[in-house]
Amino acid sequence: MTETQSQNDKYQWKIKKVLGENDVALHRMFKFTRIEAEYIFCNINNDKVNKAKEGGDVKIKMVDLDTLTHHELSLRKVKSGNVFGFKLGWLSHFVVRRKLRVGDEIGIYVDPNTSVFYFSVLSV
């Protein structure tokens, strides 16, 4: 079993996404579906959930398991509607640094004990 397979088994990625143009475009947010946002909100503390739902930036920590690097991102609500996503940090820490492209599949998991997010590129 490869290290990547071991990580995939361990984390059982709750959020898997094949990246589209909007996910990697400059000045765009990485948006979550309603079900993905509910999963995130169940795994971070209530103060952060309330702040995000009120439109505030919520700082979250994300570990890139492929490179073993730690990053801080901003989780926020889209100005109109009830959609949430990553804004600050997503492009620089992940799209640019990891050279993510349309068609790459990523996985995200939130540790319910620490509220730390974990990230991996699952396929390119």
Q: What pLDDT, on a 0 to 100 scale, did the predictor assign at position 1? A: 39
Token pair 């990246």 is found at 19
Q: What pLDDT, on a 0 to 100 scale, did the predictor assign at position 34? A: 95
The domains located in the chain, with CATH, are: 26-123 (2.40.330.10)
Summarised one tens digit per residue, pLDDT across range 104-122 is 999 999 999 999 999 999 9
- Report if pTM > 0.85: yes
Q: What pLDDT, on a 0 to 100 scale, did the predictor assign at position 112? A: 93
CA nearest to 95, candidates 77, 116, 121: 121
CA nearest to 48, candidates 73, 28, 22: 73
Summarised one tens digit per residue, pLDDT across range 3-39 is 554 555 566 899 999 999 999 998 888 999 999 999 9
